[in-house]
Amino acid sequence: MDSLVSQNLRVEVFDKVEPDPSVETVEEGAKVAKKCAVDVVIGLGGGSPMDAAKAIALLMTNKGSITDYFGTDKVKEPAIPVIAIPTTAGTGSEVTKYAVVTDRKKILKQIIGSFHISPVLAILDPVLTLSMPASLTANTGADALSHAVEGYVSTQSTPVGDILALKSISLIAESLPEAISQPGNLKIREKMLFASMLAGLVINSAGAGIIHGMGYFITLHYGAPHGLANALLMPEVMEFNLVANPGKYKNIAEAMGKKVEGLSENEAARLSVVAMREFLQKIGIPKNMKEIGVKEESLAGFAKTVSKNERLLTLNPRRPTREEIEEIYRNSM
């Protein structure tokens, strides 16, 4: 605020954004922004404040409710400029066209996907991530890893994105445990922030898959932070997906430090799941969903809703049936 005010800019602070921001919060933010006739929205924080900033900026130039823009390419007019400043290394939202807004009435996480809401500027300063406690570092880092993995194997992956994804995976595999054991090490925090941004660029073009689609329900119904929910599902989803693209899963295993020489492609691909399990354990992720209180009886309902998420099912390298989604949930218990 001081640096902006010193340049004779008027600043209003909206600090009511909760984790997994709701429709109501975004609309309240937009009301404040309209009252002050703001020219720019700065999203400072983790994924939630940055996504809320994008959604608020959208409502400055587009009529109606934020719920009108749920989906892909529904935004008609460019939002007012958004500057994104991440304080976690995980979401990559600072470089993406996505804003995730929670519809608490329908109990759904809704995605707004439009280049009209992409930030015009991202400022990555690892100093801002130094104060993250270990669990937040682990959960948000696991989210970044899930972006790199899901984007890399997505049916819409691109050759350029693939390079970024593998770089992101190897950076996270080497730096995240150190970011937890040496929280004050700025060089390591910088690597994580860079890796998270790379993974954001990957999903920006390739999209995510069912790790995200399934994880949303663990967050909505059990309050698990987004990255933790993804981490708990990641090994089993990889296990299910790997037959669809063993070559890429082999590369993931290698990027995570496994030796694959002399192995068949399928053997090497399976090593990616082993590497992921070992890695998640190393960064302190609970062993399974049961440990965080997820109940067996809710899984069939979640699977039913996920099986209707056409967008994410299409992006996933192997298309699962409702029964298979339920089985992946059960195997993650």
Cβ closest to Fe ion, residue 20 vs residue 143: 143
Q: How far is the CB of 92 from Fe ion (least distance, A)?
A: 8
Minimum distance, C-beta of residue 146 to Fe ion, in the bound complex (Å)? 6
Which one of the spans 102-110, 118-126, 139-147, 315-323 is the region binding Fe ion (CB under 5 A)? 139-147
User: Which span sits near Fe ion by CB under 5 A: 49-57, 136-144, 181-189, 287-295?
Assistant: 136-144
The pairing of beta strand 41-45 with beta strand 82-86: parallel
Which residue's CB comes closest to Fe ion? 143
Closest distance to Fe ion from the beta carbon of 150 (Å): 8
Residue 258 Cβ, how far from Fe ion at the closest point, in Å? 24
Return the number of the residue (124 or 300) whose C-beta is nearest Fe ion. 124
Minimum Å gap between C-beta 164 and Fe ion is 16
Select 30 or 193, whichever has its Cβ closest to Fe ion.
Answer: 193
Going by C-alpha positions, the residue among 223, 209, 225 that lies closest to residue 135 is 225
> How many chain residues touch Fe ion (CB under 5 A)?
1
Contact range with Fe ion by CB under 5 A, out of 142-150, 161-169, 217-225, 240-248: 142-150
CB of 225 to Fe ion, least distance (A): 10
Shortest distance in whole angstroms from residue 218 CB to Fe ion: 12
Least spacing, CB of residue 203 vs Fe ion, in Å? 8
Tokens 């020219």 belong to 39
- Quick one: 51 or 254, whose CB is closer to Fe ion? 51
- Give whichever of 46 and 246 is closer to Fe ion, judged by the CB atom: 46
Binding of Fe ion by 143 (CB under 5 A): yes
Nearest CB to Fe ion, comparing residues 14 and 279: 279
Which of 289, 316, 160 is closest to 223 using CA atoms?
Answer: 289
Rounded distance, CA 78 to CA 69, Å?
Answer: 13
Beta strands 121-122 and 41-45: pairing type? Answer: unpaired
- The count of residues in the chain is 333
Residues 6+ apart with CB under 8 A from 84: 42, 43, 50, 53, 93, 94, 95, 119, 121, 122, 123
The residue (of 224 and 271) whose beta carbon lies closer to Fe ion is 224
Cα 76 to Cα 218: distance, rounded to the nearest angstrom: 32
Cα separation of 167 and 173, whole Å?
A: 10
Q: Does residue 20 interact with Fe ion by CB under 5 A?
A: no
Number of Cβ atoms within 10 Å of the Cβ of 321: 11
H helices of 7-119, in order, are 23-35, 47-59
Integer-rounded Cα radius of gyration of the chain: 19
Residues 148 and 176 sit within 8 Å (Cβ to Cβ): no
Q: What CA–CA distance (Å, rounded) separates 204 from 201?
A: 5
Per CB under 5 A, does 150 bind Fe ion?
A: no
Of the pair 143, 236, the CB lying nearest Fe ion is at 143
In this chain, which stretch among 4-12, 109-117, 143-151, 294-302 interacts with Fe ion, using CB under 5 A?
143-151
Residues forming contacts to Fe ion in the complex (CB under 5 A) are 143
